Amino acid sequence: MWDVSPFMKLLKQRYTQWYNSQKGRRGTLWEERFKSVLVDGCGEALATMAAYIDLNPVRAGIVENPGDYRWCGYAEASVGRRRAMEGLRRVVAAIERVHPEAGHGSKHRPAEAVLSKYRLFVYGEGEEWEGYTAEGVAMRRGFDREAVLKVVSEKGRLGLEDFLRLRVQYFADGAILGTRGFVDSLFGATRGRFGATRKDGARRVRGLKSELYTLRDLKKSVFG
């Protein structure tokens, strides 16, 4: 069960069988195949993916604070779960390698300090909420989706904080995310899956100032 594809196949089959027996129904339950992205286990790719995942319930309007969403590692770390905190320390260490000005020493830093460091990274120097007030005023400060798309169309690049405020298709459809070397090494291992005209694997993530690369170059709908 070290391969995510067989694991998800078994999980979905077993749950569908249980649900159908409980509800007296037949047939498939899931509309589409699950999506997965292979992420470089260190550096900016790891930190960016972690923040993107933790912001999903905020974007969906489920919670206002990602720590209030019970089904995530950040919430688990917030209540003192050891394994979750170990994972968060690894993410914070990745942030500090990319941004040396953020400081070092997360391995021995108190848990609250690690949570605070990650919280600052997630919020991007300020809480950004989606939605509208009772008067119809947008609650999110900074760029809206149209402004971001305009910047990208004009070949401008965004800072990571602005990039993460929107739903970015690379995090669901990019297949592989990491440094150029990481993506190219995996492209070589799966060369047979691509056409003869494809010479290399890494494609830079469009619209982002940082050096992140993906295997799949999205032609449109970078932001969902």
38-39 and 203-204 as β-strands: parallel, antiparallel, unpaired? unpaired
pTM: 0.64
Look at residue 16 in the predicted model and tell me its pLDDT. 94
* Class of residue 178 by CB neighbours under 10 A (exposed 0-12, middle 13-18, buried 19+): buried
What sign has the CA pseudo-torsion 191, 39, 44, 157?
Answer: positive
Between CA 56 and CA 162 the distance in angstroms is: 15
Q: Which residue has better confidence, 68 or 151?
A: 68
Who contacts 142 (Cβ-Cβ below 8 Å, separation ≥6)? Answer: 128, 162, 165
Q: Does 20 score more than 90 pLDDT?
A: yes
Please give the pLDDT value at position 24: 93
pLDDT at 212 over 90: no
Buried b (16+ CB within 10 A) or exposed e, 42-51: bbbbbbbbbb
Q: Where are the alpha helices (DSSP H) in 24-140?
A: 44-59, 73-78, 82-98, 111-123
In the predicted model, what is the mean pLDDT of the chain? 76
pLDDT of residue 23: 93
How high is the pLDDT of residue 126? Answer: 42
Share of the chain above pLDDT 70, in %: 71
The confidence band for 161, taking pLDDT boundaries of 50, 70 and 90, is low
Determine contact, residues 52/72, Cβ cutoff 8 Å: no
Higher pLDDT, 40 or 159: 40
Q: Binning pLDDT at 50, 70 and 90, where does residue 98 land?
A: low
